[in-house]
Structure 1
């Protein structure tokens, strides 16, 4: 049943991408609309998703486990960053292609695919700890993610992102709000929660529509012959989760503390790869290829990974 659920969730993402593909072919989604949707997702619907996802009951019994999960998340993301720094040097990739590949390796599809998979394997407790694991992800997305996309690109940093206002961007603010509500067990009124829920739930379809629209401008043959993309996909889907498993085993982790990090680190490239690439004008088509390719291959890798666990 768990494997069927995993397959179904991945299939849904592909159908959403297909919808965006068709919409672009029908001239319903153009470049300007795509860019507008990308900004809308990053600055509006994604923050709503973050705050809503942190609406869990807090008890003393889970305090220690919560701290451990956040620490493990920092270690795992640190590992992914180290691999992302080393890999382009080994593959001899430079420029904007290097930035896309690094972003692909650091950021996995936690929010859009991670939660459903964790729910299928571990139930509600898996989703709970998955949300905690996702806290460093959101900080890194708006710091390391922006640095990857902008570093060394003339004029991009000033035009697209103001580092002095980093702490006040929607992503970081939503993490603080969501975690504060979680920490003090503050339950949002139904009207507010439902509003955030509806807004947050648009994040996945909007992101997939953008990816599909971008893919409509690319020959599908190019996706599978893209130089070194297959190597990056294998590292994203197999090498990183297996190294994560070995590392956590070495430190004595077990149960959810090893299962959740391994599952999440084995997710395909985050849809934000294409969203950020569009926002910062860094090879958006290559970013879409990376999301599409890793998501396609994950239909094989994720079921195998869940069987291993």
Structure 2
């Protein structure tokens, strides 16, 4: 357990580097957007791919299948819990909070934490969760903000899903794992090295996001506290209790619990800005859940590991 806490503290220190970089105008908003593109389009897919390039036994291959089922159940639980808990909220803030509850920060926070706890095996299970994240983001997520998804745009959204670098990485990775393909050492080393920048890069990006958020404006807003409580405490607790009820304790189920307990995805703020729905509020939700998750995740890990 001390090693896990050390890893979380290490991630937090790197976040502070991001804050420093932004305050000193070394990492501007434009540079941060470029870093996000590098992370999502290059580093993260390579990290996912590298996690599959190992020799795994049949038990781990079986766990990959189980992770599919657990992930579907997890998203159903998150959607239903969030919908019921947010009934008291009626305006656009409800859309932001519901989206934030369902779509967690798998890329910036999830994978670095899973990698520090379980290594490549954890990243594999996390990548299955992330695959459903991408699929739901460009369907259910867009419907939340737009109110519907036109047939004309359905084809383009499906194309986005299929061509998403992380989805492509998962598909290639599963093929490599199932057929036990051996890659040349030079290629293998390159894939691992590029993927290894995911953790530090994501924490620096979070630091920049945190340093730009004006939290003071929303200190008196009860929906902020209510939403954060649902996101970081109630949903992970329900997920943990569900695992106890079904009597399953394994790396796949623990991975799913961790992924559901992560802070709100950065896409919460990005889509809020795109659709002009409480964009400042969305940025605050992302920042506050990210900051507080360092505490809530550490406590959760003590219970489930």
Counterpart position of 2:129? 137
- Mapped to 1, the partners of 2:194 and 2:108 lie a distance apart of 14
Give TM-score, length-normalised by structure 2: 0.79
**CA separation of 1:299 and 1:172: change in aligned 2, threshold 3 A:** closer
Q: Which moved more, 1:199-208 or 1:279-288?
A: 279-288
How many residues of Structure 1 are paired with residues of Structure 2 in the alignment? Answer: 299
Residue 39 of structure 2 is aligned with which of 38, 41, 55? 41
**How far did residue 176 of structure 1 move?**
0.6
1:137-156 equivalence runs, <5 A? 137-147=129-139, 150-151=142-143, 152-153=145-146
- Mapped to 2, the partners of 1:261 and 1:223 lie a distance apart of 31
**CA separation of 1:164 and 1:118: change in aligned 2, threshold 3 A:** closer
Counterpart position of 2:3? 5
Q: Does 1:290 align with 2:290?
A: no
Counterpart position of 1:106? 102
Counterpart position of 1:219? 214
RMSD of Structure 2 on Structure 1 (CA): 3.5
**How far did residue 268 of structure 1 move?**
3.1
- Mapped to 2, the partners of 1:140 and 1:258 lie a distance apart of 15
**How far did residue 177 of structure 1 move?**
0.8
CA contact (8 A) 1:138 1:175 kept: no
Counterpart position of 1:162? 156
Counterpart position of 2:233? 238
Counterpart position of 1:75? 73
- Mapped to 2, the partners of 1:225 and 1:246 lie a distance apart of 32
**CA separation of 1:100 and 1:236: change in aligned 2, threshold 3 A:** same
The secondary structure found in structure 2 opposite 1:182 is helix
Q: Which runs of 5+ in 1 are unaligned?
A: none
Give TM-score, length-normalised by structure 1: 0.78
Counterpart position of 1:262? 257
- Mapped to 2, the partners of 1:39 and 1:84 lie a distance apart of 29
- Mapped to 1, the partners of 2:270 and 2:191 lie a distance apart of 21
Q: Deviations over 1:180-206 (max 9, x none)?
A: 112222243332222222222323333
Counterpart position of 2:90? 92
CA contact (8 A) 2:23 2:211 kept: yes
